[in-house]
Amino acid sequence: MEIRQLRYFVAVAEEANFTRAAARLHLAQPGVSAQVRQLEKELGHRLLDRSGRSVTLTEVGEAVLPYARAAISAVEAVRQTADEFTGLLRGRVALGLVAGAAGAAHEFDLAAVLARFHADHPQVEIALTEETSEWMLTALHRGELDIAVIGLANTEPPPGISLQVLIDVPLVAAVPLDDPALASLDRASIPLAELRDRPLISLPRGTGIRGVLDHACARAGLRPRIAFEAAAPLFLAQLAARGLGVAVVPALPADTSSALGLRTLEITEPRLRARVALAWRTEGPTGPAAAAVLELLRTTLAAPTTG
């Protein structure tokens, strides 16, 4: 019996599916299946019932599961205790990044922070996942992610999640300079209601910025006309520059707007904000490596970018 077999068994039991368990373990599904079957052969009992649409535990599997988890925890505790005496950090940290945040990397330079951590702790594997904020919040609750950089749709954090805001800037409507209706306005802002009949270019559902827009429209009794969706705010601005609609994006640097031939108007009534935050489970990461990454991110990215 090997500890990896117990890890695979626990993953399948928790996911109720071999394919999802393999994806969580970053392994090929046939390999996971083969190792679980080998474990069952060594124990002389079937641990999993594969006959239904989802995988379920047999009676023996139910009895074995808590001991398998305890064995995995014991092995991790042995490794962590030994590492404490040498100052060595190792393990795997699962870090989530909201889709499109890479385009704002200059705002908080996450890549530089991770490179610094890797140089100090080369034995730690950092797995990056780019997804929507909604998916990552669920993954944090389930323990599939240790830390995430998310877009915020609401002002209050979800239960069990702690936040540190990294970016807090206005949402703007970006239009080409030759837009006949909006570019000539003698003001720097536009009420949300004035975008009612305009085709909008926005981030996809599940992202924080899209959540802010959708919630504001719902409260105002508006139904936004979403013409295009894309994950990167800069690409949204480029679409707007081609006359394909009004891009709803975080405030753009003046040189970027100028280079693209855009005018930006801050969205008001209500005033909308684009907020990106570091998120983690309130009780903290489960392992020392993830705790060290979180501490570095919190101290290095402490001051939010605002506008």
pLDDT in tens, 152-183: 887 677 889 999 988 888 999 999 998 887 87
Based on the domain organization, do 288 and 145 belong to the same domain?
yes
Global pTM exceeds 0.75: no
CATH number, domain of 197, equals 3.40.190.10
What integer is the mean pLDDT of 102-126? 76
7 plus 64 within the same structural domain: yes
> How many angstroms separate the Cα of 264 from the Cα of each of 175, 220, 291?
6, 22, 40
Do 251 and 111 fall into the same domain?
A: no
**SS3 at position 163:** strand
Question: How far, in Å, CA of 236 to CA of 218, rounded?
Answer: 22
End-to-end CA distance of the chain: 57
The parent domain of residue 203 ranges over 169-274
pLDDT on residue 61 = 93
302 and 247, same structural domain?
A: no
Same domain for 75 and 209: no
Instruction: Report the CATH number at residue 18.
Output: 1.10.10.10
Kindly state whether residues 129 and 187 are assigned to the same domain. Answer: no
Q: What is the pLDDT of residue 103?
A: 46
SS3 category, 52: coil
Q: How many domains does the chain have?
A: 3
Could you give the CA distance from residue 282 to residue 160 in angstroms, rounded to a whole number? 5
Say whether pLDDT at 147 is over 70: yes
- Interacting residues of 47 by C-beta distance below 8 A, sequence separation 6+: 9, 13, 36, 39, 40, 57, 58, 60, 61, 64
Mean pLDDT over residues 8-34, rounded?
91
Q: pLDDT tens, 91-113?
A: 789 999 886 554 444 456 788 88
Asked whether residue 206 falls in the same domain as residue 265, the answer is yes
Residue 33 and residue 61 in one domain? yes
User: Is pLDDT at 50 greater than 70 in this prediction?
Assistant: yes
